[in-house]
Structure 1
Amino acid sequence: MVVPDSRALAQLPSLAAVAVLAVFTATGLGLDGEQPGWVLAVLLIGGAGTAAALVRPIGLWAVVPAPPMLLVADVAVVAAARGTSLGEITGLVASSLVRAFPQVAAAVGVALLVALIRFARAGGLWWRARSSSTGRGGGQG
């Protein structure tokens, strides 16, 4: 049996990983409705962990802080599609973010934990080997 290299699996571009997380977030919001609950929590946390595990290492900077922004964007898009006024959208976004704070905080925490595990397992090699405009990347010293 051939086991694929875990580094080969983590090659999803940043935008694609954020899109995966956006789908999980939108699905959770759609299934939970007005009151964010356990469905949103499971999908948001699972989506954040999945996106952080599959994204290229440099893309972790985009994936880890994405859950609150995606929640706000999803709520705003749904409200705008319903023809809601800008003032009402602002209120909906604020109340949704406050009500879903535990879920969002847990999702950011899981994404950060996955990022730290990936960094520790790689021994920091991908960070030291990245290119730099100063010419210090790639093991020079």
Structure 2
Amino acid sequence: MKVSGAVVVIAVLDGGSGADLARRFTAAGAAGMLIADQRAAVAEDLAAELDRPGCPVVGVGGDIRRPSDVAALVDTAEKHLGPIDLFCVAGPDGERIISLADLPDHLDLERLAELVALVGEAIGEVVPPQRRREPDTATAA
């Protein structure tokens, strides 16, 4: 899987974090990145932190369990960054990376949405609810 020069989409599931993955892709020379999280502010803040010349980063809100959200984030990524090379899902148990070049046929948005939804469901099914991280609700004293 070639990261240098790649356009990457990172979709974050409940309990997951795309921050480490996004930092690794930036360090490896990604040409652009879109980060999608159900918590739009989290994605936007991470995008602002990592955005740099040569690797623009866009943060958006979205839930990859909804095909319409997947289609919207793919459209946004292609509009701002160009054709997507890698599609990643960051869940509570880790991450899965799909290299679109390794797939046999060019996928349309509907088929890509189906594929990503399956990856998201698979991640959700293998993580028992008791292992999922809870949002940090602690307040500063």
How high is the TM-score relative to the length of structure 2?
0.29
* Bigger share in helix: 1
Compare CA radii of gyration and give the structure with the larger one: 1
* Bigger share in strand: 2
